[in-house]
Copies of this chain bind each other. A is one copy, B any other.
């Protein structure tokens, strides 16, 4: 009979999860984050998004020594040269990462161990909308279809519960419900 509480579940340290939750419950201000991306247009459908600093836990983060640069590009059929993945692919990447992390973290907080997660995210889009060729066609994804392949000592019902955890994902919330966006020109 196992009586030892495991220190690490799904790669998360249990004491760190508890510590974070307790800290936020003591002071909800530390839960407020501002994430930031800077973008520079290169030419045509090629631009670079840069990620480094953010605010959270009541302070500017200093944990990152270098910035990440993500090249947005387009394939030839969409008038580019494959300078990088295209923006709607980055959107699916964000959604996949966020749902996976959210699932694993909520499982860890409940002591549910997972062996592996592989997933696929397929997005259907009609570029007539984006190109302004048909008012009846929306600009964005018409549908996103997601399949999770979860392995572990888990019943089908438990796997469905894990998918339920993934619905807490911030990117899933934005992608399914939308959010408020303000756009302006630099003064």
A residues lining the B interface (CB < 8 Å): 10-13, 16-17, 20-21, 24-25, 28, 31-47, 49, 51, 54, 56-57, 61, 63-64, 68, 70, 72, 74-79, 82, 84-98, 100-102, 104-106, 114, 116-134, 137-150, 156, 159-160, 163, 166-186
- Cα-based distance from A102 to B41 in the complex (angstroms): 11
Judge whether B101 and A77 touch: CB under 8 Å: no
- Cα-based distance from A147 to B64 in the complex (angstroms): 24
When all copies of this chain in the complex are counted, the total is 2
Determine the chain B residues whose CB is within 8 A of the CB of A139 once the complex forms.
168-170, 172-173
Decide yes or no: A146 and B181 within 8 Å by CB, A64-B75, A87-B94 being known contacts. Answer: yes
- Cα-based distance from A40 to B151 in the complex (angstroms): 12
A sample of 12 inter-chain contacts (CB < 8 A) reads A11-B42, A12-B44, A25-B133, A35-B86, A36-B122, A63-B75, A70-B85, A72-B94, A86-B97, A143-B180, A174-B175, A175-B178
CB-contact partner of A174 in B46, B141, B150, under 8 A = B141
Q: Tell me the minimal C-beta distance from A172 to chain B in angstroms.
A: 7
- Cα-based distance from A91 to B96 in the complex (angstroms): 11
- Cα-based distance from A79 to B104 in the complex (angstroms): 12
Judge whether B149 and A186 touch: CB under 8 Å: yes
Judge whether B79 and A36 touch: CB under 8 Å: no
Q: Tell me the minimal C-beta distance from A117 to chain B in angstroms.
A: 4
